[in-house]
Amino acid sequence: MTFRIYLRDANQRVTDKTITANPDAALVAFRALVARTDLDGQRMLAVLNRDGSPVAHHDFSKPAPPAPGSDPLRWWRGRTDEFFPVGY
């Protein structure tokens, strides 16, 4: 099992990439990216993939739920425990 955690900008550039087989390390890396309030309002995504399949995306350009225009499936700050464990 391989987890890839990274930031992706509006031009599809990838930065801050972590690759690990450890699900706990993957969660720590994803939480660290999602916690970055300096990216709020920017067209950036924090992405968590497992074996090439998406597990979660955090969209920094959207407001936190329940604000209008928010999407709880794309806002994970403070909520990562809701989708982990992911069947590992």
Q: What span, in angstroms and rounded, lies between the C-alpha atoms of 9 and 27? A: 21
pTM of the full predicted structure?
0.88
- What is the side-by-side strand order in the sheet with 14-20? 14-20, 3-9, 44-50, 53-59
Other beta carbons within 10 angstroms of residue 6's beta carbon come to 19
pLDDT digits (tens, 9 = 90+) for 17-69: 999 999 989 999 999 999 999 999 999 999 999 999 999 999 999 988 888 88
Specify the pLDDT at position 83.
63
pLDDT band at 79 (very low <50, low <70, confident <90, very high): confident
